Structure 1
């Protein structure tokens, strides 16, 4: 079967109107990605290198990601897909070809191998679009944000999982990503990362899992016991109800993770599942380890963990907590080399290094960060620039925010939404966590083409990746990193939102200024 002309031109490295229209900016022959940081079980079974040694393609839409996969010589030809911008259901369509098997409304990595998807430049946000890995191997997903993927409501994608792996998947590395939801099943979400139906040799490292009813599972039912082994290390789990992970039958090595705000249960090995749980820090949480909601027992080996304000329920027929004084009930041999950080420094180093747009920093085993000597997150210098203009220059004209209303996501104690529209740099709004959103609103349609996000004194540089949204329609007006002056096409709206997707500290927005020009 011959590929369509646009895909053949892309494979040859030509820049065409067809490739520009789907969001492919550049093809660079024979570039490589930095994969030396892979650790854990993904190093076994032949290792995990993703698209190392293949072409590097820059993509700004989901359709462009699919097109890059379909343009390869074969389904196993290595490729590195650098992603920048916001991927949505609306810009993610099925593309056909001999080397791919894609679908609308989801990033479909099906029946393929040797692929790296990595966020670059101003960042990559998969907004309400999940990543589905099926019948595939040697996959790296790195430095991206996947948020608010739903299984019910509109739009839906990937069964409600941010990242899902199923049906003969092996050697996958999920690294330095931020996976977010805005609630549990009642709000239409499922899981942040699921592995089922023979998913093996996976490492999940330096990721953020936040605001979800379910963190993730290994094994979809008590009869789906052929999954794993999986390594989880240096991840942040925050405000999660349960499943960090739920482990059915498989083996997991779980070390140096930071768990805060687990409301129902945490690491849950069952049906013979085994977890080696080392040097983790559990804070302000309930039932962080044990077999829960079943009488099919699992097992654990524990050492070096810190339990800070952890509560435990009483044992029962289907409730088998490991605490209040967790003891090992099995031993697990780990086949690879690794270095443990002390549990006492885990909150600090994980908060600093985990998640997208943090520079891919990793720990050196001494509670100190290291930055990779080569970075796969740099945008190609010859690619056209589409990032918004930001900078310290104060815009001219009238600040339309003065006298307007304001609201947003959760706010930290002592801060207020109204502080961002009061013209006073000594007052500010902070989200209740490290990310959140703040909005300015008017009683009638107002034309805006420029905003100025001004951070409070002593908190400059904390804001990482962000999006500016037309809150009337939900449309993304622009995206980027860092505070300052941001421009976008002139838009008439009643409400505009500045959404912080990552940060290096608690953001403090002193003023959210808006201007017509």
Structure 2
């Protein structure tokens, strides 16, 4: 039987799809990529903005090996995670990536390392039981957006940002059953690399009885912490240390004895401006000094409404991607 060129192309495409499914990855080179998100605000809008994989083709991954390969590629990509992926250690995420969780998608046992790369979006994923950090942004990585994820029961930080990284937005995430939530600046002796960087926006996150670091800040100025919901945090809410400048604005503190303070452990104090926050059965907080102005536009929700807004919208599974 003679195989026509069209028939040969069909057979090759079918074989390629079958091989990809066996490997745990299905790439759709044709057809539209996921729409670029339009709800980004904060520091990740600066420095040229954050678009992730943009209009690059979409790849769906269902295994640890496929995920490792996809996020580590040097090419721009929109990567969809399907199902539960069990893994260990830290997976290197290279520049120009959008990583989206399909409904119910989970990363269990490992985390993402954005190490000196730029323009990365991570949305709608559940991270649990990670054995290092869930998301680590380091080594002058820039323009990163971490949005609508859920974090629980990990070893170290849920979202740690350090070593001169910059222009990051952390929004609409839910952290529970966890100790060290979000570190900004890893060391007191890293001023030379960090000063003038570590500019991050944290907004509409739900810190749900997590213990500390919501965030713990070194050197970054201005760091913007607004419209977050803090609930029964047994350690503290926000700490400004090592000459950092933090604006704590429009947050809802619910049964938080220590909502914010200056200095932490052996780290000397930074500055902290607190305004328009709402307190229920909570301490009054410690503020002092001035903070640089915020350069971007944003809409501030009334602090008294933040509990209902954030609990109704934060975490994985609350958006369509």
**Runs of 4+, deviation exceeding 4 Å:** none
1:328, distance to aligned residue in structure 2 (A): 4.7
Backbone CA RMSD of aligned residues? 1.9
Partners of 2:216 and 2:271 in 1: how far apart? Answer: 12
Please identify which structure carries the higher strand content.
Answer: 1
Query: Aligned residue for 1:318?
Result: none
The correspondence for 1:335, drawn from 278, 295, 312, is 295
Query: Aligned residue for 1:40?
Result: 42
Query: Aligned residue for 1:78?
Result: 76
Query: Aligned residue for 1:114?
Result: 96
Contact 2:246 2:291 in 1 (8 A): no
Distance 1:84 1:221, change over 3 A: same
Partners of 1:311 and 1:333 in 2: how far apart? Answer: 26
1:34, distance to aligned residue in structure 2 (A): 2.8
Classify the secondary structure of the residue corresponding to 1:15. Answer: helix
The correspondence for 2:85, drawn from 84, 87, 90, is 87
Query: Aligned residue for 1:21?
Result: 22
Query: Aligned residue for 2:105?
Result: 124
Contact 1:33 1:80 in 2 (8 A): no
Partners of 2:14 and 2:244 in 1: how far apart? Answer: 48
1:107, distance to aligned residue in structure 2 (A): 2.5
1:234, distance to aligned residue in structure 2 (A): 0.5
Larger Rg: 1
The correspondence for 2:145, drawn from 173, 187, 190, is 173
Aligned residue runs from structure 1 range 274-285, under 5 A? 274-285=245-256
1:295, distance to aligned residue in structure 2 (A): 5.8
The correspondence for 2:187, drawn from 199, 216, 221, is 221
Please identify which structure carries the higher helix content.
Answer: 2
Partners of 1:67 and 1:228 in 2: how far apart? Answer: 29
Partners of 1:332 and 1:208 in 2: how far apart? Answer: 28
Contact 1:301 1:332 in 2 (8 A): no
Query: Aligned residue for 2:178?
Result: 212
1:41, distance to aligned residue in structure 2 (A): 0.1
Query: Aligned residue for 2:213?
Result: 243
1:135, distance to aligned residue in structure 2 (A): 1.5
Contact 2:83 2:105 in 1 (8 A): yes
- TM-score, normalised with respect to structure 1: 0.56
Query: Aligned residue for 1:353?
Result: 313
1:241, distance to aligned residue in structure 2 (A): 1.6
Between Structure 1 and Structure 2, how many residues are aligned? 302
Partners of 2:116 and 2:27 in 1: how far apart? Answer: 28
Contact 2:188 2:267 in 1 (8 A): no
Classify the secondary structure of the residue corresponding to 1:63. Answer: helix
Partners of 2:214 and 2:14 in 1: how far apart? Answer: 43
Classify the secondary structure of the residue corresponding to 2:202. Answer: strand
Contact 1:280 1:343 in 2 (8 A): yes
Distance 1:163 1:180, change over 3 A: same
Structure 2: any 5+ residue segments left out of the alignment? 1-12
Distance 1:69 1:354, change over 3 A: closer
1:259, distance to aligned residue in structure 2 (A): 0.4
Contact 2:169 2:200 in 1 (8 A): yes
- TM-score, normalised with respect to structure 2: 0.89
The correspondence for 1:199, drawn from 141, 165, 168, is 165
Larger relative CO (CA 8 A, sep 6+): 1 or 2? 2
Distance 1:356 1:295, change over 3 A: closer
